[in-house]
DNA sequence: ATTACTAAGTTACGAGTAA
DNA sequence: TTTACTCGTAACTTAGTAA
């Protein structure tokens, strides 16, 4: 997202456009942003196109309201600032247990991962990940987590293929300590994968669909 | 300030550059910001020129630290987001009493102001403002206050000159209710002016140099 | 490896203006 | 009054490089 559009979105939020439609002309917006009416108008059109705001044409002025997508972007921004100025905090997710397709087992059978996990985390992971699906709305938290260094497990190659780098964060699932593993690059999945020396599914005594509460510690690194 | 520079400044803050020098190459910054190495390099130069960061050239990479000016800008941004998502909050200042140059008395002798104050605030202001000097570091709070609508007293003209619009906010000075008056446009002064139906200086029993504690209510409008 | 210059390409801006 | 188009110009970006 372009930085200048974020600026405008924030301005609209300050004017109360998150929970209400706000009646504001492009000229008024231009004055707030110290730009021209034309540019403000263009920004509004761009935000609309990106589905970050909705517009209706009022009798004279336009009525603008920020969409959920738009509010999500601002929330993420807010969380970033919070992390800059507030004490390091934990990030919470509510999700529910799902079955992996066995990929976890496949990956955790790779020596390249096992050895690095053992070296950095001090345990040999149970062969298989605990998979938790998180709601779409939490995706901004995920993006935030990825901004933090965590503990990086380097990529490696076998004779067959390359295994990408992953990032690890200390976490708890239903108050039980374990380690979140995220791909270091690439896209966001709605499935979080956790590893542990134990069989987490048994230890937690949970089955598919059960709600789980996750806390990710983004500050303290493993070891 | 340009929106894209703010973005970079925030990125540096997330990397811990507010309280420490951070060793980071322009290429690494470029990857974080999803732009080119050249652009990241240019941003760094611009931020340095604006005195928002300091730089040293390390053995290979540059060492970057955010200056107080830079941190102030980020803090203000943070406060804006806070106001978007948190419950309306009051803004506090600590300052000390100073003498006006008699301008307050002059302005408050103008019918154009008196009538509008009376109409909107329900009282005839005591002829003279209470002037409080606030520290330089609080200037970002002032900028934030100005983002809120408050109650606007319109500009008016006399035969001699034009008197600019002002914004009013409910406030307390040492727990005594009064009204903050700020010029609606133009620059920030380090002197806050308060009006009240009473002679505040007598009512509060304070003299020049005495510390005063101010709370500004940016949400609730007068009447 | 770095940083950062130049030059050319791309995008954004806003005056003028229509609807 | 509005919103938003066109289009000339200003600003920003980046490939190619030098140091």
Supply the DSSP string of B186-201, one letter for each residue: S---SEEEEE-SS-HH
CA B188 to chain centre: 7
DSSP letter assigned to residue B137? G
Q: Is the pLDDT of residue B223 over 80?
A: no
Q: Is the pLDDT of residue B68 over 90?
A: yes
Which residues lie below 8 Å from residue A124, measured CB to CB, with a gap of 6+?
Answer: A114, A117, A118, A197
Those residues of chain A whose CB sits closer than 8 Å to some CB in chain B are: 2-4, 6-7, 10, 13-14, 18, 74-75, 77-78, 80-85, 147
CB count in 10 Å sphere of residue A124: 13
Determine the straight-line distance between the first and last CA of chain A, rounded to whole angstroms.
Answer: 36
CB count in 10 Å sphere of residue B195: 27
List chain A residues with CB under 8 Å of B3: 2-4, 6-7
Closest CA to B81 of A47, A147, A86: A86
Out of A3, A14, A74, the one facing B3 most closely (by C-beta) is A3
Q: Are A63 and A56 in contact (CB under 8 A)?
A: yes
Mean pLDDT of A134-154: 81
Distance CA B117, CA B121 (A): 5
Residue reference for tokens 């380690």:
A179
> Is any atom of nucleic acid chain C found less than 7 Å from the CB of residue B60?
yes
Edge-to-edge strand order for the sheet containing A62-66? A22-23, A62-66, A53-57
Q: Are A83 and A208 in contact (CB under 8 A)?
A: no
Distance CA B24, CA A103 (A): 35
CB count in 10 Å sphere of residue A5: 18
What mean pLDDT is reported for chain B? 89
Could you give the C-alpha distances from B94 to B133, B174, B177, in angstroms and in order? 9, 10, 16
Out of B3, B78, B80, the one facing A14 most closely (by C-beta) is B80
* A13 token code pair: 């939020």
pLDDT digits 0-9 by tens, A67-105: 999 999 999 999 999 989 986 668 888 899 998 777 778
Confidence at B87, pLDDT banded by 50, 70, 90? low
Mean pLDDT of A21-45: 93
* B138 token code pair: 């609080």
Q: Is the pLDDT of residue B36 over 70?
A: yes
Residue A207, class by beta-carbon neighbours within 10 Å (0-12 exposed, 13-18 middle, 19+ buried)? exposed
pTM over 0.85: no
Provide Rg for chain B, Cα atoms. Answer: 22
List chain B residues with CB under 8 Å of A83: 14
pLDDT in the model for residue A222: 52
Q: Are A178 and A195 in contact (CB under 8 A)?
A: yes
Please name the helix (run of DSSP H) or strand (run of DSSP E) that holds residue A37, with its range, or none. helix A37-49
pLDDT in the model for residue B98: 94
**pLDDT over 90 for what percent of chain A?**
52
Which residue ranges form the domains of chain B, and what is each CATH number?
3-74 (1.10.10.10), 88-217 (2.40.30.30)
Confidence at B220, pLDDT banded by 50, 70, 90? low
């Amino acid at each position: 997202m372009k930085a200048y559009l974020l600026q405008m979105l924030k301005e609209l939020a300050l004017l109360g456009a998150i929970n209400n439609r706000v009646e504001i002309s492009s000229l008024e917006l231009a004055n707030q942003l110290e730009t021209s009416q034309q540019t403000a108008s263009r920004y509004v059109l761009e935000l609309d196109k990106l589905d970050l705001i909705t517009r209706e044409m009022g009798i004279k002025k336009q009525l603008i309201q920020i969409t959920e997508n738009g509010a999500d972007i601002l929330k993420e921004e807010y969380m970033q600032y919070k992390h800059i100025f507030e004490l390091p905090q934990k990030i919470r997710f509510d999700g529910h247990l799902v079955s992996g397709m066995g990929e976890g087992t496949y990956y955790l059978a790779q020596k390249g991962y096992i050895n690095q996990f053992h070296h950095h985390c001090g345990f040999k992971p149970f062969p298989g990940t605990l998979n938790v699906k998180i709601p779409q709305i939490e995706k901004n938290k995920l993006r935030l987590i990825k901004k933090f260094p965590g503990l990086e497990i380097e990529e490696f190659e076998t004779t067959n293929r390359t295994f990408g780098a992953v990032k690890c964060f200390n976490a708890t699932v239903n108050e039980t300590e374990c380690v979140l593993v995220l791909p270091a690059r690439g896209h966001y999945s709605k499935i979080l994968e956790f590893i542990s020396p134990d069989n987490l599914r048994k230890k937690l005594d949970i089955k598919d669909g059960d709600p789980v509460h996750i806390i990710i510690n983004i500050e303290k690194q493993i070891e």
